[in-house]
């Protein structure tokens, strides 16, 4: 009889163990699924003050007339950029947005490694922030091999991809119909990491003799891009 009890206890143990394994595996799956981030932001963004994102210690300090405490596509976008703790690789056609420039400068002053790759023509136009970033000591390279370096993506800590139709301009954020995808899906992130590396190496100024990165190489008017 005690033998039968032993068998019964062992059986119950096995069932219990199986159920535990199943539960643990379900929890792990949940955690893994929950970890994959896929967010879509659409623009134009509502107008709202973003001062509190830059100065979270004094969130009510800003007296500007814009609405305060409103979460918008742009504030989400800004937070994602500012979430960088080790690196920000930025590959963007046009960069003139002052808030985004401020964000990149803030990351730089926190010690985040910044690399900026941009279009050679747009780097030199009025309002471009590339010169501002360079003056602050941020390494920026211009694409010299193509008609347009038309990417608009950022890689945060080599882990998070932020990409879409949105150039880093005020018009794009406030007036255009645009989209931005934020994802940490490795199948999407990894190809962009490789692409950034390829373009970064390819556009190393040491590789070409005449420094044409501040001057438009094409003077023709190109409207379709």
Q: Could you list the residues that contact a copy of itself (CB under 8 A)? A: 3-4, 7-8, 10-11, 14-15, 18-19, 21-22, 25, 29, 38-40, 42, 44, 93-94, 96, 122, 125, 127, 143, 145-153, 163-167, 169, 171-172, 175-179, 181, 183, 185, 187-188, 191-192, 195, 199, 222-225
Annotation marks residue 8 as catalytic: no
* Catalytic site residue from 68, 108, 150, 202: 150
CB neighbourhood size of 145 (10 A): 11
The answer, yes or no, to whether the previous bond of 44 is cis (omega within 30 of 0) is yes
CA distance 86 to 59: 25
Closer CB to a copy of itself, 24 or 66, in the complex: 24
Closer CB to a copy of itself, 51 or 162, in the complex: 162
Closer CB to a copy of itself, 69 or 145, in the complex: 145
By the 8 A CB rule, do 76 and 40 touch? no
CA distance 169 to 216: 19
Residue 117's contacts (CB-CB under 8 Å, 6 or more residues apart) are: 89, 90, 91, 92, 140, 141, 142, 143, 149, 151, 196, 199, 200, 203
Nearest to 90 by CA among 225, 178, 192: 192
Nearest to 90 by CA among 113, 69, 62, 111: 113
CA distance 74 to 66: 14
Nearest distance from C-beta of residue 40 to a copy of itself, angstroms: 4
Closer CB to a copy of itself, 9 or 64, in the complex: 9
* Catalytic site residue from 152, 197, 215, 225: 152
Nearest distance from C-beta of residue 174 to a copy of itself, angstroms: 9
Annotation marks residue 157 as catalytic: yes
Annotation marks residue 197 as catalytic: no
* Catalytic site residue from 108, 157, 184, 202: 157
Catalytic annotation, residues: 150, 152, 157
């Amino acid at each position: 009889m005690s033998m039968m009890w032993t068998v019964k206890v062992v059986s119950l143990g096995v069932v219990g163990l199986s159920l535990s394994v199943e539960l643990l595996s379900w929890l792990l799956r949940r955690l893994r699924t929950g970890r994959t981030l896929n967010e879509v932001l659409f623009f134009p963004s509502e107008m709202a003050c973003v001062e509190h994102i830059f100065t979270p210690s004094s969130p009510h300090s800003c007296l500007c007339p814009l609405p305060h405490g409103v979460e918008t596509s742009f504030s989400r976008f800004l937070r994602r950029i500012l979430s960088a703790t080790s690196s920000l690789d930025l590959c963007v056609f046009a960069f003139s947005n002052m808030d985004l420039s401020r964000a990149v400068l803030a990351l730089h002053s926190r010690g985040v490694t910044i690399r900026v790759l941009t279009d050679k023509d747009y780097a030199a136009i009025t309002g471009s922030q590339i010169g501002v970033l360079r003056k602050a000591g941020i390494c920026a390279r211009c694409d010299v091999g193509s008609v347009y370096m038309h990417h608009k993506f950022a890689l945060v800590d080599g882990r998070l991809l932020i990409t879409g139709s949105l150039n880093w301009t005020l018009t794009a954020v406030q007036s255009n119909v645009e989209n931005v995808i934020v994802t940490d899906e490795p199948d999407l992130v990894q190809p962009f990491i490789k692409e950034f590396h390829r373009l970064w190496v390819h556009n190393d100024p040491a590789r070409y003799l005449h420094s044409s990165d501040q001057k438009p190489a094409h003077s023709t008017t190109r409207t379709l891009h």
